[in-house]
Amino acid sequence: MLLLMHRGSDFQAQMMADSDKNGCSVAHWAAYKGDLTALKLLHYFKADLQALDSAKMLPLHRAVCASQASVVEFLVEQKSDIQARNQEGKSCLDLAAEKHDLHMQGLLKSLMKKSNDQFGGAKVQPEDLEAGQAKAESSGKGKPGFFKGLMQDKAAHKIFPVFWLVCVSLAVFQYIMDIRVVGYEVAPITAFLFELLVPLSLGFFTFVALGDPGTVPARPQGNSAVEELMKVIDSPAGDIEPPDINRLCTTTWVMKGLRTKYCVQTGACVEEFDHYCVWLNNTIGKANHRQFVGLAIVEFFTQVTHVRLCMVTVMSLIPYQSFTQWMWGAITSYPLLTMIAVIHCVTAPWVLMLTLHQSRLVLMNLTTNEMMNMHRYEHFWTIRQIGPGHSSRIFRNPFNKGSGVANCLDFWWHRTRWQMVAQPQPLEGGCQKQCCNHSH
């Protein structure tokens, strides 16, 4: 399609307006086939996504008939009329009901509500809304749970970093009021470490939460990676080594590196994307990954030192007769101290697991996203022949620098994690020299 658009740049509008004998344009067919990339490219070239075919059906109607949920969401985002009716007077919800597609009915119902709430459009007919809601509830796909709904609400994400800051403030206040004097008498080194680690932890937190994670600036239409792709495809170099169109981000219109991913939460492509951290309300990427690992390490030791200070303070101030009496005395005499110590005991193991997880990924030169989705990325797999007529899909990490030490240096110092390492070339028959036990 990009080649046609490049060579027929003077006739783009005519090509996109052409239709078949049923009046279906290329947008109708892309919607029906569920080709979201093609549909986004058509939108980029200003194709009419509201065009009607001979049956007065929008591309949205065709997508509903084919149960293409992602296409339906995209078309509604582009202001396609979800309540439009075809020649037979049927709406999108009616078409979904005819197919007994409960999931699509639930999706359309939620999109109708969202459209009314955000854009103040025409009111949805009550019978349409109730029909979709009844079908969705009968299929067990009603409202999302509390945590899932919280994760979907971007404004609510600010609750998590605020909660963390409140806990830190309470811990510092309690340390100054109850622990500091006693702490320097019974555990001076621990008290000094705590006073050193708290500002360090706050510094890391501020940097990671407010800093740029490595965002790739979005490119405007007309001067984006699409034009560059079209030129490459229509050149001799494109015949020798065709570009990977799958690396084109159809939201920001940039060419993504192998480790650059689009973050839905922030709406931007991030280099060396690791994950989106809800506790920081920010993405973890190339520009803040080291600081994030540092924050996890410092936070764990800060919690350990504070728990240690809480213990020695209570043990020095409350005489020990029995464990029950001692605990009750701590709760009644120092309720804030006890509450914070309990929070530490609950959260510190999770921080430790996060630290160990990130350390393991650093040693392997992988990201969290790659660890979770490596089965989707072809560059992590190679096909090897294990016998006559038999082959196997073998995992290989093209970013592994050869050892854990080299990977650590690459993460903390060299900053070339994105560079791929040349892999040994397979011998005849597909086997590697080091592991070949087969006769060829």
Query: pLDDT in tens for each of the 440 residues of the chain?
Result: 676 666 666 566 677 778 888 899 999 999 999 999 889 988 888 888 999 999 999 999 999 999 999 999 999 998 899 999 999 999 999 999 999 999 999 999 988 888 766 544 444 443 343 333 334 444 444 455 555 555 566 667 788 899 999 999 999 999 999 899 999 999 999 999 999 999 999 999 999 999 999 999 999 988 898 888 888 887 776 666 778 888 899 899 999 999 999 999 999 999 999 999 999 999 999 999 999 999 999 999 999 999 999 999 988 888 888 888 888 988 898 899 999 999 999 999 999 999 999 999 999 999 999 999 998 888 898 888 777 777 788 899 999 998 999 999 999 998 888 888 876 555 444 444 444 444 34
Domains located in the chain, CATH noted? 1-100 (1.25.40.20), 158-364 (no CATH)
Tokens describing residue 322: 């029995």
Buried/exposed code over 378-405 (b: 16+ C-beta within 10 A; e: otherwise): eebebebbeeeeeeeeeeebebbbeeee
| Distance, CA of 412 to CA of 161 (rounded, Å) | 26
| Distance, CA of 199 to CA of 24 (rounded, Å) | 63
Q: Which residue's structure tokens are 């464990």?
A: 323
Buried/exposed code over 198-217 (b: 16+ C-beta within 10 A; e: otherwise): beebbebbebbbeeebbbbe
According to DSSP, the β-strands at 390-395 and 381-387 are antiparallel
Q: Which residue's structure tokens are 């690396």?
A: 247
Nearest-5° Cα angle at 274, 271 to 277 = 115
294 and 204 Cβ atoms separated by less than 8 Å: yes
Q: What letter represents residue 235's amino acid?
A: S
Instruction: Give residue 383's Cα distance to chain centre.
Output: 29
| Distance, CA of 156 to CA of 390 (rounded, Å) | 52
